[in-house]
Amino acid sequence: MKTVEDYIRTIPDFPEPGILFRDVTSILQDADGFRLAMQEMQKRIETVEFDVIAGAESRGFIFGAPLAYNLNKAFVPIRKKGKLPCETIEATYELEYGTAVIEIHKDAILPGQRVVIVDDLIATGGTIEAAIRLVEQLGGKVVKVLFLMELAGLEGRKKLAGYDVEAVVTYAGK
């Protein structure tokens, strides 16, 4: 029987020499791989008490929205600055060379709502750390942070200390 990791294509030396790029598109291109990935992610939140799934742009949408649908929960997009049409709040986070900004609608999370944040990958943790700040600023409580993949060598979990963080597949390196 195949595992999720069997469907993840590894591309050496991308985007630069020495990097092993873990490609999520190979999962999406295979119906069995995508189904398995969704099943494995869903298993990790089925016993969690929550109201809303929030997904970070853009691959958090790909995995978060089907989870929300399957579990009959609301889905909230966390988007790059300038993409949401209503009143928003924003959070800035560090990139390798500079900063980026993500936003959420001001009315997307109600005070007291329990939120699961979903994304495809945790690397340095900056995007999801900013997403957590947004949810909490709106009065939500982050009860789980779920990823399909983790690059443990980049130590992103350190930024998410104190939160329940889980990944389906963990790679030791970067």
State the catalytic residues.
59, 96
- What DSSP character marks residue 1? -
Q: What is the CA radius of gyration of the chain?
A: 16
- What region does 56 belong to: left with phi over 0, alpha with psi -120 to 50, or beta? beta
Residue 50 tokens read as 């929550």
Contact indicator for 91, 101 with CB cutoff of 8 Å: yes
3-state secondary structure at position 94: strand
